[in-house]
């Protein structure tokens, strides 16, 4: 019981401490014209929600306005609720379905930080002769700290650090049984305007369990999204995922995944609420593989 409290306390402390140490005060951010959107109240700070939305809007305005890819975690600070589904096809006719994929609520907590509170996915593993295991996955949290950024008019780039924590709260068939920590360095560069252009978003991460590394391993993952943007709502991309399995049962092996995708959005809904939907097809290439191919659906409501 002590470790979940410790993990949450660490995330909260980082969210509170980093902005004061490494970035100018919120009022030094580029001014955001909220006249075209409903910010939920006064931006003068008298209304708590209005002041919060004004601060989060200013944080988003001071960075590129690219779309979050389906697989690669964007270095941008984002504010939305997200739901994904993944259907994987494995060797011998086995399949795995994940409803939710541990996406969830993403909140911009300051001018330079974002906290993601994952909603555990529900996993159904199916053997060739029928369902073999089902259950809820472990809880996850992710803290982003944006170190450098500039919007399309001022350089079109971003550099961000992440710290992810997985807490073993899942059902017996789905939990790893251990805490795992995933430090990540993320960066992106774009060319063009807010209306059309091209960008590259990339992350490099390593997942480290608190113990039992011989069984769980320490995968090093390099994700990159090559993303285009045209006609306001169209965001085609090609994503690559290179995984090196350090220690564990697959020690020394490498897996490469290619994933073409299309994401549509941000469509206006009500007030400041928008809608995004997309899908990708994942295909492993080369020799070693933990799955053969997969489909992923993503749906989001940015606000």
274 vs 253: CA distance, rounded Å: 41
At the second CATH level, the architecture of 2-30+62-302 is: Beta Barrel (2.40)
Enumerate residues 6+ apart whose C-beta is below 8 A from 20: none
Instruction: Give the pTM.
Output: 0.83
183: nearest Cα among 145, 225, 217, 149: 145
Q: Is the model's pLDDT at 46 over the cut of 90?
A: no
Tell me whether the omega of the peptide bond preceding residue 13 falls within 30 degrees of 0, making it cis: no
- The answer to whether the beta carbons of residues 138 and 169 sit under 8 Å apart is yes
Query: How much is the pLDDT for 92?
Result: 87
Q: Any idea where the domains of the chain sit in the sequence? A: 2-30+62-302
- The answer to whether the beta carbons of residues 214 and 202 sit under 8 Å apart is no
231-274: per-residue pLDDT in tens?
A: 889 999 999 999 999 988 999 999 999 999 999 999 999 999 99
Share of the chain above pLDDT 70, in %: 84
Query: How much is the pLDDT for 3?
Result: 45
Query: How much is the pLDDT for 1?
Result: 42
């Amino acid at each position: 019981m002590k470790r979940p409290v410790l993990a949450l306390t660490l995330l909260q402390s980082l969210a509170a401490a980093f902005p004061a140490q490494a970035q100018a005060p919120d009022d030094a951010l580029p001014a955001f014209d909220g006249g075209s959107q409903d910010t939920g109240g006064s931006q003068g700070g008298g209304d708590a929600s209005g002041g919060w939305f004004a601060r989060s809007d200013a944080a988003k305005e001071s960075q590129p306005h690219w779309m979050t890819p389906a697989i690669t975690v964007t270095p941008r600070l984002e504010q939305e609720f997200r739901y994904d589904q993944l259907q994987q096809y494995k060797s011998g006719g086995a399949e795995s379905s994940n409803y939710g994929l541990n996406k969830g609520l993403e909140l911009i907590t300051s001018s330079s930080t974002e906290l993601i509170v994952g909603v555990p996915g529900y996993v159904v593993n199916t053997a060739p002769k029928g369902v073999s295991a089902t259950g809820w996955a472990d809880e996850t949290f992710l803290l982003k700290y944006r170190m450098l950024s500039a919007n399309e008019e001022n350089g079109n780039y971003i550099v961000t650090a992440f710290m992810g924590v997985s807490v073993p709260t899942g059902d017996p068939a789905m939990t790893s049984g251990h805490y795992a920590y995933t430090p990540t360095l993320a960066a992106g560069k774009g060319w063009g305007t807010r209306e059309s252009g091209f960008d590259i978003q990339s992350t490099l991460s390593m997942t480290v369990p608190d113990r039992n590394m011989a069984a769980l391993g320490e995968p090093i993952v390099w994700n990159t999204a090559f993303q285009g943007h045209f006609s306001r709502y169209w965001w085609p991309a090609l994503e690559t995922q290179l995984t090196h399995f350090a220690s564990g049962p697959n020690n020394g092996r490498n897996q490469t995944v290619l994933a073409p995708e299309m994401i549509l959005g941000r469509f206006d809904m009500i007030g400041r609420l928008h809608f995004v939907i997309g899908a990708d097809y994942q295909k492993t290439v080369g020799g070693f593989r933990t799955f053969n191919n997969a489909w992923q659906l993503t749906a989001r409501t940015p606000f």
